[in-house]
Amino acid sequence: MMATKKQIRSGKTGMDNRKEPGDATEISYMTPSGIRLFIQEVIAEFKKIVWPEKKVTAGLTGFVLLLVTIISIYLGSVDLLIGKLVTYFLN
């Protein structure tokens, strides 16, 4: 049976390979072989990651630290100002 272009685009080719929840071939990750399989899958996924270069990472880290410093100074000063105003009005 040939699938039409419309069926291919919608993913409805008539062949449903999804597993049912009660399927006996489903692997349990709570067994030693399941744990080994899980670790192998995690390692395979980690190998697919494209890590940024050290220079890019250092630049972005510096930028984040700068923003955190600026925002903390701003919020600290606003908190101090509001605290002084509340103390002034309560006295």
The two three-digit tokens of residue 77, written as one number: 């000063």
Q: 59 near 65, Cβ under 8 Å?
A: no
For every one of its 91 residues, what pLDDT tens digit does the chain have, with 9 covering 90 and above?
555 555 556 555 555 555 555 555 666 778 888 899 999 999 999 999 998 999 999 999 999 999 999 999 999 999 999 999 999 999 8
The distance between the two most distant Cα atoms of the chain, rounded to a whole number of Å, is 86
- Provide the residue ranges of all domains of the chain, joining segments of one domain with +: 52-91
pLDDT of residue 91: 85
pLDDT of residue 78: 98
Distance between CA atoms of residues 68 and 49, nearest Å = 27
pLDDT of residue 71: 98
